[in-house]
Amino acid sequence: MAQNLTHKILAAHLVDGSSLGTPGSEIALRIDQTLTQDATGTMAYLQFEALGLDRVQTELSVSYVDHNTLQMGFRNPDDHQFLRTVAKRYGIVYSPPGTGICHQLHLENFAKPGKTLIGSDSHTPTAGGLGMIAMGAGGLSVALAMAGESYRIAMPKVVQVQLTGRLQGWATAKDIILHLLGMLTVKGGVGRIFEYTGPGVETLTVPERATITNMGAELGATTSLFPADRQAEAFLMSMGRAEDYVEWVADEGATYDETIEIDLSTLEPLAAQPHMPDRVVPVRELAGLKVSQSAIGSCTNSSYADLKSVALMLAGKQLSETTDLLVSPGSKQVMKMLARENLMEPLLDAGARILEASCGPCIGMGGSPISKGVSVRTFNRNFEGRSGTQDAQVYLTSPLVAAQVALDGQFSDPAGWGAPPQFPELPGAAPSIRHLFVFPPEDGSDVEVIRGPNIVPLENFQNLPGTIETRIQLKTGDDITTDHILPAGAQITALRSNIPAISEYIFSRVDADFVNRIKNADDGPCRGVILGGDNYGQGSSREHAALGPRHLGVCAVITKSLARIHRANLVNFGILPLILKNPADYDRLEQGSQLTIPAASIQPGGSVTIDAHGVGPVEVINDLTATELAIIQAGGLLNYVRAKREH
Ligand code: MIC
Ligand code: SF4
């Protein structure tokens, strides 16, 4: 039978007894590659160590340092040292701070068509631009994949995104994904994989494709992918990796669960307005809006072609005196290519500030906008407060739009911009930076893993009690992001390897009293439940948004619906994800409502009745598999796997 590309790659990685079955059923996959970044990686490697193996079991595992690169005290440098030594000890490739942003580096140096990758960062699907199944996961899931365990997910629906035509004028790849976000919203991709097909695909280079697969994460999608075709071959050749090319395309006549069509020639420059990536409008509608800052880069739009087109636009011009321009290149390779073609000079001369090749302003590590400032960013997220300035207004656009508004100091109608710069071709042979990665020795058994004071040992969690007696400690609205649960920013993110310390910030921007309240609850092992709305936990893969609440004593989250990675993180740390059978019960329950949850009666996929004191019975369902339920009952995945491995 004719297969789509998603099914082909998944089928080649199915672990015994598992079948592609129907959407929603559980599949277990062999994982070829893993990646971590520093902010989630320290925990992932502590968890890997706890499994007691001598070496990673994957074909390739890479540890990138790109989030916490600021060194304003011992914490981040200590983390880097831990990551460097732990990588050498267990057979992991180490990418030092400043080398680049994990997704850009992985695409350029390690991604391979037809392979599977999981990464402890939600934008891991970026590598789907090169024809692989690349998924974001919590750090513990990545640790288990490094230990050779299969990765279990609910089989997603496969959505065909049929592209026809060719981008025109100032429209770019970014506008394709912004268009989809406007159409489908941040919940539209949940339980789905987006597979791009059709004649429009051939017109897009791998870096353009990667911009689209990167931001598929904002749709809530499991992942997105493009075929590995002539464009993929050209990209790999340019990267000096021609030998990694294998053709991976869908069969002729393949079928899909759903289809969306986009005529590329009809797209125009778009912008996502504050504070959600799906609040998309045409740029022309924003004409006249003053812009105080423009920021180009992040894992979404920091490729050679992205920055070259900006350099060409800025050549011989100067920024508006009221607009700052920050440029974060994706990798040192990108910087070398720009330098080689004398393209750094136009950026510098125009007045741009060139930052390190790291996440930087995208995660509030410097580059915060002025109070109430309008910041136009080529990034993928514009959640409130994420820039570090609580009342800043962040718009997401393509690099071309971000460069134009930096020149003009305001938005204007692209119809008046004249001819767009030509889209840059990939260089025939890009200068390599391979020697900057630290490759591990064959045998790392005598390498000492160095742990500074910022590396705090893992905590042991108890089993789930049979009956949970506790109260709702917080009631939240819809679309709560992991940035709401645990904010980013230099001060907080530096505590990622110290759970007791970082837990002090859980929900700090939503309800400053939350931590106090839950700490003072005298409810025994379960100190509280969170009541959420729709799409709870969307955004980042940071498992700290589950681990922190667990440390504080949260034992269940009751919502209308949950985002995929966060749901998995809750399971990994033994927090019960329960779903209201009747969404209207959300309105009946209040913060402070006392609950009795008969946890021992919960069956996989079944329903139970919670006694909400003073409110009455509330029915909740779950979509847990038998294994997931057993994991939660054991107090989390680490307990579960250790017990299994001992038998
Ligand atoms: C993000 O973009 O929010 C991050 C920071 O890259 C996160 C990971 C993290 O919180 O460490 C992500 O997207 O998973
Ligand atoms: Fe880094 Fe931003 Fe990409 Fe997250 S979204 S990996 S913080 S550049």
Report the nearest atom of ligand 2 relative to the CA of 362.
2
| C-beta 386 within 6 A of ligand 1 | no
Same domain, 473 and 356: no
What is the best residue among 35, 79, 102, 121 to mutate for testing ligand 1's pocket, by most ligand atoms within 8 Å of CB? 121
What is the best residue among 362, 379, 382 to mutate for testing ligand 2's pocket, by most ligand atoms within 8 Å of CB? 362
**CATH number of the domain residue 320 falls in:** 3.30.499.10
How many CA within 13 A on the CB side of residue 255?
3
Distance CA 93, CA 437 (A): 7
Q: For 330, which DSSP code? A: S
Same domain, 113 and 20: yes
38: which 2 tokens? Answer: 């520093």
Same domain, 256 and 307: no
431 located within any domain:
no
Report the nearest atom of ligand 1 relative to the CA of 380.
2
What pairing do the DSSP bridges indicate for beta strands 616-621 and 607-612? antiparallel
Looking at residue 47, its pLDDT comes to 97
Is-catalytic flag, 121? yes
Query: Of the listed 67, 84, 484, 567, which one is catalytic?
Result: 67
Looking at residue 19, its pLDDT comes to 87
4 CA to centre of ligand 1 in angstroms: 30
372 CA to centre of ligand 2 in angstroms: 23
Distance CA 113, CA 244 (A): 8
Is-catalytic flag, 408? no
433 located within any domain:
no
452 CA to centre of ligand 1 in angstroms: 23
190 located within any domain:
yes
Question: Of 417, 444, 477, which residue sits at a domain end?
Answer: 417
**CATH number of the domain residue 473 falls in:** 3.20.19.10
How many CA within 13 A on the CB side of residue 445?
4
Q: For 332, list phi and psi in degrees, rounded to 5.
A: -65, -25
Same domain, 332 and 282: yes
463 CA to centre of ligand 1 in angstroms: 29
Looking at residue 18, its pLDDT comes to 83
Q: For 456, list phi and psi in degrees, rounded to 5.
A: -100, 130
Instruction: Give Cβ neighbours of residue 580 (< 8 Å, ≥ 6 apart).
Output: 558, 559, 560, 586, 618, 619, 620
How many CA within 13 A on the CB side of residue 406?
31
Is-catalytic flag, 67? yes
Same domain, 261 and 288: no
What are the distances in angstroms from CA 118 to CA 57, 134, 524, 550?
14, 6, 36, 24
The number of folded domains in the chain is 3
Looking at residue 255, its pLDDT comes to 97
Ligand nearest to the CA of 66: 2
Ligand nearest to the CA of 383: 1
Question: Could you give the residue ranges of the DSSP H alpha helices within 370-431?
Answer: 399-408
Distance CA 613, CA 469 (A): 11
Residues paired with 376 in a beta bridge: 294, 395
438 located within any domain:
no
Q: Supply the pTM of this predicted model.
A: 0.98
458 located within any domain:
no
Nearest CA residue ID for atom 3, ligand 2 = 299
Nearest CA residue ID for atom 12, ligand 1 = 540
| C-beta 219 within 6 A of ligand 2 | no
Query: Of the listed 381, 471, 484, 550, which one is catalytic?
Result: 381
Same domain, 212 and 344: no
Same domain, 378 and 522: no
609 CA to centre of ligand 2 in angstroms: 40
Same domain, 262 and 305: no
Domain that holds residue 123: 5-266
| C-beta 393 within 6 A of ligand 1 | no
| C-beta 299 within 6 A of ligand 2 | yes
Q: Using H for helix, E for strand and C for coil, what is the string for 242-293?
A: HHHCCCECCCCCCCCCEEEEEEHHHCCCEEECCCCCCCEEEHHHHCCCECCE
Same domain, 357 and 374: yes
| C-beta 121 within 6 A of ligand 2 | yes
Same domain, 207 and 276: no
Is-catalytic flag, 66? yes
Instruction: Give Cβ neighbours of residue 427 (< 8 Å, ≥ 6 apart).
Output: 238, 304, 337
Question: Of 266, 290, 312, which residue sits at a domain end?
Answer: 266
Report the nearest atom of ligand 2 relative to the CA of 102.
6
Query: Of the listed 32, 79, 121, 175, which one is catalytic?
Result: 121
Same domain, 524 and 494: yes
487 CA to centre of ligand 1 in angstroms: 10
Is-catalytic flag, 106? no
The answer, yes or no, to whether the previous bond of 613 is cis (omega within 30 of 0) is no
Burial class (CB in 10 A: 0-12, 13-18, 19+), 304: buried
Mean pLDDT for each 10-residue chunk of the chain (647 residues)?
96 91 94 98 98 97 98 96 98 98 98 98 98 98 97 97 98 98 97 98 98 98 98 98 98 98 98 98 98 98 98 98 98 97 97 98 96 98 96 98 98 97 88 97 98 95 96 97 96 96 97 97 89 97 98 98 97 98 97 97 97 97 97 97 87
Report the nearest atom of ligand 1 relative to the CA of 217.
13
Query: Of the listed 527, 542, 564, 566, which one is catalytic?
Result: 542
What pairing do the DSSP bridges indicate for beta strands 528-531 and 554-559? parallel
Same domain, 332 and 392: yes
Ligand nearest to the CA of 365: 2
| C-beta 386 within 6 A of ligand 2 | no
399 located within any domain:
yes
460 located within any domain:
no
Question: Of 266, 283, 302, which residue sits at a domain end?
Answer: 266
Distance CA 226, CA 161 (A): 10
Amino acid at 447: V
442 located within any domain:
no
